[in-house]
Amino acid sequence: MTSPDPIITAAATDDPRIQQLIRDLDADLAARYPDEPCTGGAHISPGIRFLLAEVDGRPVGCCAVQPFPFPDNAAELKRMYVTPEARGRGIAADVLAEAERTATALGHTEIRLETAVHQPEAIALYTRAGYTLIPNYPPYQHKTLSRCYAKPLPLPEARPQDREEVTAFLMGQGLSSQDVLAPGTRYWLARDEAGPAATVGLERQGHCVLLRSVAVRSDLRGCGAARRLVQRVLAEAATQGGRTAYLFSTGAGPVWERLGFRPVPVAEAAEALSDAPQVRQYRATGTLTGEAAWRHDLITVTTGNLPPLSADHSAADAAHAAAVTGR
């Protein structure tokens, strides 16, 4: 292996390279804990997303990001492994950082993990990366050898120098880039190994906020990412004194209803946010009357009480929501 940096990409659960690395991981764990059967694959959910690290085309490591069941908005790091010959080169830190970016792009507010006492190198890696020890969570709460850790995942706020990147991403998702990062707006931009992954924007006037530009890249949809992004941004708005959230959307009513919004007259939203860039744009172009407005009272918003997208509609609704706000 001559390349100094690993190439980290998303991989399917049944990818033969991932499967071989998992077998190697299980063998490693069996050697470290001969009296405790490995259960690393016993708690894998359909929503898990694997990452594969390769150097010079050779698989050298993997990990996975798995959501905790709703209403918990955290993700769990699972199946973290680097081959013995590739250790000591910083590959594990690179894989871990990419897992955190992936979890952030999926809207998760925190990442947790379980390791154990006979993996001191893993504990050192997590500690260096900013993870703190927490009480063991299920199904590890009664395992005396297990150690659980957690790290918060802030949603990166877009900077003025990110304007072109945000603009290109929104246009690629079929959304308008008008007034992106204009005065009076805030945007968040999550990235992963494939580039821009998710955006959400807010415009504010007094105690009212306008939600716009909710976009999730197509390969990340269908797992609640849009719901989590909306939820965490509205929760932050509420903690900063926001009382009412509005949005304009003509084609995704069922989505917003499941997220706690209700339809209101367009005039109500336009009056409450008369100075918001999006409202001014609609007035200037004469398109305001053709819009549909939605409202959510933020006094009810916390970090975990917005309803999930239903199982029957999750993928379609998340994809639809990603293409209808902030047109």
- In this structure, the strands spanning 293-297 and 75-82 are unpaired
| Distance (Å, whole) CA 224 – CA 65 | 14
Q: Would you give per-residue pLDDT tens digits along the chain (327 residues)?
A: 455 689 999 999 999 999 999 999 999 999 999 887 665 555 577 789 999 999 999 999 999 999 999 889 999 999 999 999 999 999 999 999 999 999 999 999 999 999 999 999 999 999 999 999 999 999 999 999 999 999 999 999 999 999 999 999 999 998 888 889 988 899 999 999 899 999 999 999 999 999 999 999 999 988 889 999 999 999 999 999 999 999 999 888 898 999 999 999 999 999 999 999 999 999 999 999 999 999 999 975 554 443 332 333 333 333 334 333 443
For 46-74, letters b (16+ CB in 10 Å) and e give ebbbbbbbbbeeebbbbbbbbbbeeebbb
End-to-end CA distance of the chain: 48
239: left (phi over 0), alpha (psi -120 to 50) or beta: alpha
pTM exceeds cut of 0.75: yes
- Amino acid, res. 187: Y
